[in-house]
Amino acid sequence: MSIHMNVFLKNENAAESLKSSLLKYHVTDVYLEEMGEEAEPGTEIIPTGYIGGTSGNPPMFSSFKKLRREKGSGHRDYPNYLLSFHTTEEYKQKVLEEIKKADGYIDKKAVE
C-alpha cells in the first residue's frame, strides 16, 4: 500500500538533504517545491521532532500564517519548501525516522 507524505522544510538544503536520504527507501513520485509567502497546506502540521516517542502534546498549526505569527515576522524559521512523496507501509517507520531528523513540519495525518 502506498502512503503519501508531505514534509515542510525551512530551506532548500534541508529539503534536498532529506530527499537524498529517503531515496534508499524507494520513495516514489518525489516532488520538491519552493513555496511562496502566501502558501497554505490546508492541513494540520506538526514539528517533525514530535514524531514518535516524544512526550507531551505537539504544537499543531492549522495554517502557515498561524505558524509565522507564532515564530514572529521577519524570521525565516518556518517552512519554505515542500517535499512530497509516496512510500510503502514497509518503509514508513524508517522514513519517519529520517523525517524526524530534518527539523521541519509534517502533515499530521502521515504520523497517525
Domain layout of the chain by residue ranges: 2-111
pLDDT of the residue at 41: 62
pLDDT of the residue at 88: 95
Q: Strand 81-88 and strand 28-34: pairing?
A: antiparallel
pLDDT exceeds cutoff 80 at 65: no
> 3-state class of 47 per DSSP?
strand
| Of the options 3.30.70, 2.40.128, 3.90.930, 3.30.720, the CATH number for the domain spanning 2-111 | 3.30.70
Retrieve residue 99's grid coordinates. Answer: 523525517
Report which residue type is found at 20: S
66 vs 46: which has the higher pLDDT: 46
- Mean pLDDT, all residues of the chain: 81
